[in-house]
């Protein structure tokens, strides 16, 4: 049953970091907000990630030369790129369009846009969680990149130069000073590129759950339900339909990660997005941990100190949403962890597979879909946790009229839709 207050009621679909952030900022603005998800807050991809507030991670995977390197990487047992070959026919159209961005002009354009979303991530998370119960999980810290040698670091010169162009300049530590700083690292690690003024979350899942409690404290409500569809009247949102019934509203936020595509397409936008399957292993009760999140360049995974152990997360596997975990990526991760942390002992491990939403241009979908009153907040690829606090704030600002939509043109939800070109 509709009421006069429905126009001020917003339904946020998705209780990950993007959705919970949007819900909090809307509630702080005095809006009535209902957060809807089939799972409890923080149970999806927002739970399983490296936990880094990686402001400098503005460079997409699709750097120049990837097209030439990708086939060899897929065949190399010691490469962090994996493919479920049975899925290749289905992913091929997306893959062709994704790899078409592996050029200098697109890479620079994407990096500049991502810098807007994540360049101030620590401050955005502090604004979101500061002085609340969620603040306990937020840790300002460095973010380190570990290389075997100066020569290996120099091979990444394109990426580091692009970061420098956007204001991210590392401190370099070499030789024995590496192990003095990080005793857990093998002597094979000869260089650390250290980014100051970053941060990490001690438990991403618990962080989002705590934020959801903050949202409830602000008067918001949470519904456990599966979103089925939306109801539009004269091309304006009037309700979100779930398996528990319809929820009347005057605006809505679509923040269901890689699962946002089907509903986006129902609303008439093209969503060329695939699951980039990511893995993590938590080493519980470890004998040693790094002092700050550390990207291991050879394995393309991040080791992060967390409240329940050391989490090693990363890997890229292309294989869709339906298949279960593959053994090869986990074995790769365990093998590289043994090489980099040769003295590490632990009581047991926890393994996890999640789904990063990967658009063909590595940019999220953020903004209003036409003039429907339904706003996109999904598709953050590798930077979901990092960019979630600001994305939610931006979308809330669009709904309340405090955010200029022109600032978000790079992330337009209809940018791939034929008539929008």
Tens-place pLDDT, residues 10-60: 999 999 999 999 999 999 999 999 999 999 998 877 788 999 999 999 999
User: What is the residue-averaged pLDDT of the chain?
Assistant: 94
For the residues 126-151, what does the mean pLDDT come to? Answer: 97
Q: Where are the domains of the chain?
A: 4-46+206-271+363-420, 52-117+138-200+273-359
What is the CATH class of 52-117+138-200+273-359? alpha beta
Q: How many residues does the chain have?
A: 421
Residues 181-215 pLDDT 10s: 999 999 999 999 999 999 999 999 999 999 999 99
Q: What percent of the chain has pLDDT over 90?
A: 89
345: burial class by Cβ within 10 Å (0-12, 13-18, 19+)?
exposed
Candidates 147, 128, 146; CA nearest to 138 is 128
Residues 264-281 pLDDT 10s: 998 999 999 999 999 999
Residue 103 is classified by DSSP as S
What's CA 44's distance to the chain center, in Å?
11
CB 186 within 8 A of CB 342: yes
Checking if the pLDDT of 386 tops 70, the result is: yes
90: burial class by Cβ within 10 Å (0-12, 13-18, 19+)?
middle
Give the model's pLDDT for residue 418: 63
Which of these ranges, 67-71, 110-114, 119-123, has the smallest mean pLDDT?
Answer: 67-71
Q: Band of the pLDDT at 421, cuts 50, 70, 90?
A: very low
Within 41-103, where are the H helices? Answer: 66-75, 88-99
Give the model's pLDDT for residue 71: 81
97: burial class by Cβ within 10 Å (0-12, 13-18, 19+)?
middle
CB 142 within 8 A of CB 294: no
Q: Which CATH architecture has domain 4-46+206-271+363-420?
A: 3-Layer(bba) Sandwich (3.50)
Residues 393-414 pLDDT 10s: 999 999 999 999 999 999 999 9
SS (H, E, C) 259-323: HHHHHHHHCCCCCCEEEEEEEEEEEECCCCCCCCCEEECCCCEEEEEECCEEEEEEEEEECCCCC
pTM higher than the cut 0.75: yes
């Amino acid at each position: 049953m509709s009421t006069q207050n429905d126009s001020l009621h917003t339904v946020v679909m998705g209780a990950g970091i993007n959705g919970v952030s949007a819900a909090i900022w809307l509630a702080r603005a005095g809006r009535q907000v209902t957060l809807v998800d089939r799972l409890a807050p923080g149970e999806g991809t927002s739970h399983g990630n490296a936990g880094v507030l990686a402001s400098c991670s503005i460079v997409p995977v699709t750097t120049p030369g990837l097209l030439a390197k990708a086939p060899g990487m897929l065949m190399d047992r010691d490469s962090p790129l994996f493919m479920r070959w049975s899925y290749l026919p289905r992913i091929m159209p997306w893959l062709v369009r994704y790899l078409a961005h592996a050029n200098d002009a697109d890479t620079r354009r994407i990096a500049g846009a991502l810098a807007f979303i994540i360049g101030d991530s620590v401050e955005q998370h502090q604004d979101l969680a500061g002085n609340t119960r969620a603040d306990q999980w937020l840790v300002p810290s460095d973010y380190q990149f570990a290389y075997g040698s100066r020569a290996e670091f120099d091979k990444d010169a394109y990426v580091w130069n692009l970061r420098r162009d956007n204001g991210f300049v590392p401190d370099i530590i070499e030789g024995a000073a590496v192990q003095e700083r990080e005793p857990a690292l093998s002597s094979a690690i000869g260089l650390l590129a250290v980014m100051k003024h970053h941060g990490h979350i001690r438990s991403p899942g618990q962080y989002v759950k705590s934020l959801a409690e903050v949202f409830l404290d602000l008067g918001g409500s949470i519904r456990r339900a599966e979103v089925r569809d939306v109801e539009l009247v004269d091309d304006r949102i009037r309700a979100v339909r779930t398996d528990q019934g319809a929820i009347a509203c005057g605006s809505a936020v679509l923040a269901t990660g890689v699962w946002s595509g089907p509903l986006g397409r129902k609303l008439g936008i093209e969503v060329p997005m695939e699951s980039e399957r990511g893995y993590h292993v938590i080493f519980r009760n470890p004998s040693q941990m790094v002092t700050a999140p550390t990207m291991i360049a050879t394995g393309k995974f991040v080791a992060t100190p967390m409240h329940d152990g050391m989490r090693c997360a990363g890997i890229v596997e292309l294989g869709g949403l339906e298949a279960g975990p593959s053994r090869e990526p986990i074995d790769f991760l365990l093998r590289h962890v043994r090489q980099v942390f040769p003295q590490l002992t632990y009581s047991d491990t926890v393994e996890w597979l999640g789904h990063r939403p990967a658009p063909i241009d590595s940019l999220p979908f953020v903004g209003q879909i036409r003039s429907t009153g339904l706003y996109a907040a999904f598709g953050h690829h590798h930077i979901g946790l990092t960019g979630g606090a600001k994305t939610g704030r931006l979308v809330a600002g669009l709904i309340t009229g405090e955010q200029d939509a022109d600032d978000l043109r790079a992330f337009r939800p209809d940018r791939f839709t034929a008539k929008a070109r």
